[in-house]
């Protein structure tokens, strides 16, 4: 099936239409034997190389993925990242509704990345927000937050929007009580860049400790007290950790 996809570009338009019909037929016939999400992911990525030809097939694949793996974080992550790359799900839905016979599918061309980066980021974030609301799992929150961190690795374009998306995701992650130490460390760092944010960091980390009392989480709160030069709070927290955690607190 993948080899058929790769050969599409080598044919004339009429041959491409025939080839695409064959690819779709092979896909339908193999559906009963497909049980791994990775197979769908690779096939969908292969279709992206021929975006102007494979809209119908992509819609079929995504529909099948949503039916087979509705609670798989990897599916939601894939759909969100597709939005960021410019492969908007709504475009495929509009194509399905287009009943015009004026042009064959192979001659129709949809503009990938035709939307602005700002709009693609917004669509991507919308999918992630739906995902964490639907699944409510630590794994999905990790994917969402990691994606926002990756987005901020390039600050050359839409820097303010990217930073706001990350800040919003971190705050929402804290409220969900499903955010891990790694992302609390990021949130603490962001808050502590300004002296006025250290108090907020202490409040948030203290709340987080109610759900995660690990040594690593205590370390974040202790580091915040040290950065604020709050000596009484430093000793109070350190003694509390030593009493409650014993040998587990040795890394501190």
> What is the three-state SS of the chain?
CHHHHHCHHHCCHHHHHHHHHHHHHHHHHHHHHCCCHHHHHHHHHHHHCCCCCCHHHHHHHHHHHHHHCCCCHHHHHHHHHHHHHCCCHHHHHHHHHCCCCCCCHHHCCCCCCCCCHHHHHHHHHHHHHHHHHHHCCHHHHHHHHHHHHHHCCCCCCCHHHHHHHHHHHHHHHHHHCCCCHHHHHHHHHHHCCCCCHHHHHHHHHHHHCCCCCCHHHHHHHHHHHHHCCCHHHHHHHHHHHHHHHHHHHCCC
Condensed to tens digits (0 to 9), the pLDDT of residues 218-233 reads 999 999 999 888 888 8
Least confident of 20-34, 98-112, 115-129, 142-156: 98-112
Confidence (pLDDT) at 109: 42
Query: What integer pLDDT is reported at residue 115 of this predicted model?
Result: 93
Q: Which two tokens stand for residue 178?
A: 């499903």
Report how far apart, in Å, the C-alpha atoms of 94 and of each of 90, 111, 250 are: 6, 13, 59
Q: Residue 250 above 80 pLDDT?
A: no
How far apart, in whole angstroms, are the C-alpha atoms of residue 83 and residue 145? 16
Sequence-distant (≥ 6) Cβ neighbours of residue 183 within 8 angstroms: 141, 142, 145, 170, 173
What are the pLDDT digits (tens) for 77-123? Answer: 999 999 999 999 988 876 665 544 444 444 444 456 589 999 999 99
Q: Is the pTM of this model over 0.85?
A: no
Instruction: Find tokens 């839409």 and name the residue.
Output: 158
Q: Give yes or no for residue 150 having a pLDDT over 80.
A: yes
Quote the pLDDT of residue 104: 46
The arithmetic mean of pLDDT across residues 138-151, rounded, is 98
- Residue 11, pLDDT > 70, answer no
Q: How many CB atoms lie within 10 A of CB 181?
A: 15
Rounded alpha-carbon distances, angstroms, from residue 51 to 109, 187, 192: 8, 38, 45
Q: How far apart are CA 55 and CA 95, in angstroms?
A: 7
Place of tokens 């917004």: 122
């Amino acid at each position: 099936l993948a080899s058929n996809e790769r050969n599409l570009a080598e044919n004339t338009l009429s041959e491409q239409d025939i080839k695409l019909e064959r690819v779709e037929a092979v896909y339908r016939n193999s559906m009963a034997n497909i049980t791994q999400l990775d197979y769908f992911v690779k096939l969908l990525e292969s279709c992206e190389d021929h975006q102007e030809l494979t809209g119908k097939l992509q819609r079929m694949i995504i529909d099948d993925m949503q039916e087979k793996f509705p609670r798989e974080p990897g599916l939601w992550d894939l759909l969100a990242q597709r939005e960021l790359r410019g492969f908007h799900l709504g475009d495929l839905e509009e194509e399905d509704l287009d009943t015009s016979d004026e042009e064959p599918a192979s001659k129709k061309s949809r503009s990938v990345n035709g939307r602005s980066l700002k709009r693609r980021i917004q669509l991507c974030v919308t999918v992630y927000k739906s995902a964490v609301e639907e699944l409510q799992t630590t794994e999905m929150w990790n994917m969402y937050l990691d994606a926002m961190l990756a987005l901020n690795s390039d600050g050359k374009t839409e820097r303010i929007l990217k930073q706001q998306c990350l800040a919003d995701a971190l705050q929402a992650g804290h409220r969900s009580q499903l955010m891990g130490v790694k992302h609390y460390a990021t949130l603490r760092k962001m808050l502590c860049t300004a002296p006025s944010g250290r108090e907020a960091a202490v409040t948030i980390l203290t709340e987080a400790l109610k759900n995660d009392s690990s040594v690593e989480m205590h370390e974040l709160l202790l580091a915040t007290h040290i950065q604020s030069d709050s000596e009484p709070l430093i000793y109070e927290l350190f003694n509390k950790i030593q009493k409650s955690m014993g040998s587990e607190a040795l890394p501190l």
